Amino acid sequence: MGAQTNRERPLAGKVVLVAGATRGAGRGIALGFGELGATVWCTGRSVAGKTPPGRPETIEETAALVTAAGGRGRWAQVDHTDAAQVESLCGRIAGESGHLDVLVNDIWGGDALTGWGTPFWQHDLADGLRLLDLAVRTHLVTARFAVPLLVDRPGSLVVEITDGVGDHYRGSLYYDLAKASTIRLAFAMAEELRPRGITAVAVTPGFLRSEAVLQHFGASAEGWREAIAKDPHFAASESPRFVGRGIAALAADPEKIEVSGKVLSSGMLGARYGLGDVDGRRPHFGDYSRGVVVDGLRAALAAGTLDLSSAEGLVASVGELAAPFVGQVSMPLLGRLRGLPTPVSEEALVAAVAATVRVG
C-alpha cells in the first residue's frame, strides 16, 4: 500500500473504540476508520478458537483488516456486560493511546434471542431480558468508562448503532425496545455532551450485507447480486463498509455538532459526504423504500384499487414490493392518506410517504 497524505488520512492520530467490532456493521465501521488512518480499538468476545457455532469471524481479524486498510488496528477480548472488563479495557486504552476521540457502541448479540412472530406475553422472558442486557446495558456500561477518555476533548464523537430512524414498531417488543433505547441514549448523551463541544448521534445501516445475511441468502460478498432473485429489495443493500465510511466521515467533519442528538442513516451520511460503497454504488435504503411505497400507491390509485378502509386493506392494496414497508407504518400512513383532498396530487402523495416511511 502506498504512502497516504494527511489529507487522505484525516483521522491520523485519532483514537477510536468500536465496541462490538467482530463482524457485521461493527467490522465495517472499524474498517471505515482504518481507511482514514485512525487507531482503532476493536472489541468483542470472539477470538481465535472461541467463536459462536457457524461464525468464524474473530476480533483479531478485524484489527488486522483495519491495519491493512491504512489505520492501526488494536484488539481486546471484552465481555461488555462485565463492568470490570470494560473498565480494564479503558484503562488500557488510556495507558497505550493516551486518550479517545470516538466511541462507537455497536454491541448486540441478540439475534438468537429475538422471538420473531411471538407476542410479548408468550416470548421467553429470560431471552428477552438477556437481549436487553446485551443490547442496552452493555452500551451504558461502555459509555460510563469510555466517555471520560474523550469528555475533555471538544470535537469528539459518540455513536450509538440502531435499526431504523423512525418510531415504527420493529416487529418484536424486546428488539424494538433495544433499538429505540439506543436512539434515546444518543439523544440524552447529546444533551449532556453538547456544552463540551462533543457530538452524540444514533446511526442505522440500511439493508446490510453482513456475513450472517449473506449466509442466509447463500451468497458471497462478491456475488451478492445473485440473492436479488430471492429478495428484490436486496438490490438496494449495502456492504458493512458503507456505514463505516459514513461514520468515519462524520468524525472528520468539524461541523458535526450541528447533527448532535439526531438519528442518521448510512444513506444520509453517504449523501452528506458524497461517499460510495465498495462497488462504487451510493445506496440509500430510506430513499429506496419511500420510492417503492410511492410507486405502489400511485399504481393502486391509477387502478382504482387503493383501499383506505383499514390498515390491513392499505397493505394489501399497494402490491407485494411496497407491502413490507407500508406494513411497518400502516396506521399513520393511512391517517395521512385519508386526510388528502381528492384527486390526490403527486406532491401530496410523496409528502405523506416522506412523513411516515422512515426506515433510513
The residue assigned the cell 472489541 is: 43
Q: Over the chain, what is the mean pLDDT?
A: 95
pLDDT in tens, 6-39: 557 999 999 999 999 999 999 999 999 999 999 9
Measure the N-to-C terminal CA separation of the chain; round to a whole number of Å. Answer: 34
80 phi and psi, to 5 degrees?
-75, 0
Q: How far apart (Å, rounded) are the C-alpha atoms in residues 158 and 188?
A: 11
The H helix count followed by the E strand count for the chain is: 14, 7
What residues contact residue 41 under an 8 Å CB cut-off, 6+ apart? 15, 16, 17, 18, 74, 75, 76, 89, 93, 97
Cell numbers found for residue 291 = 420510492
E strands of 163-209, at which residues? 199-204
Please write the tens of the pLDDT for every residue from 40-65. 999 999 888 888 877 888 999 999 99
Task: Check whether 1 has a pLDDT greater than 80.
Answer: no
* Cα separation, 300 vs 306, whole angstroms: 5
**Distance between CA 294 and CA 291 in Å, rounded?**
5
Euclidean distance between CA atoms 294 and 300, whole angstroms: 10
Q: What is the pLDDT of residues 179-229, one digit of tens each?
A: 999 999 999 999 999 999 999 999 999 999 999 999 999 999 999 999 999
| Among 214, 166, 183, 175, CA closest to 28 | 214
Please say if the pLDDT value at position 2 is more than 50: no
**d(C-alpha 37, C-alpha 16), whole Å:** 11
The average pLDDT across 325-348 equals: 94
**CA dist., res. 289 & res. 232, Å (int):** 12
Quick check: 48 and 60 in contact, CB under 8 A? yes
Strand locations in 162-241, DSSP E? 199-204
262: exposed, middle or buried (Cβ count in 10 Å: 0-12, 13-18, 19+): middle
From CA 242, how far away is CA 32, in angstroms rounded? 8
Among 197, 199, 227, smallest CA distance to 212 is for: 227
Dump the DSSP string for 96-127: HHS--SEEEE-----GGG--TT--TTTS-HHH
Which pLDDT band, with edges at 50, 70 and 90, does 269 fall under?
Answer: very high
- State the pairing for strand pair 157-161/199-204: parallel
d(CA 104, CA 320): 36
Cis peptide before 343 (omega within 30 of 0): yes
| CA–CA gap between residue 265 and residue 202 (Å, rounded) | 8
pTM of the full structure: 0.95
Task: Give me the mean pLDDT over the 300-307 stretch.
Answer: 95
| Cα angle 27, 32, 37; round to 5 | 120
Q: Name residue 298's amino acid.
A: R
Task: At 310, list the grid cell.
Answer: 383499514
**Domains (range + CATH), the chain:** 15-283 (3.40.50.720), 286-356 (no CATH)
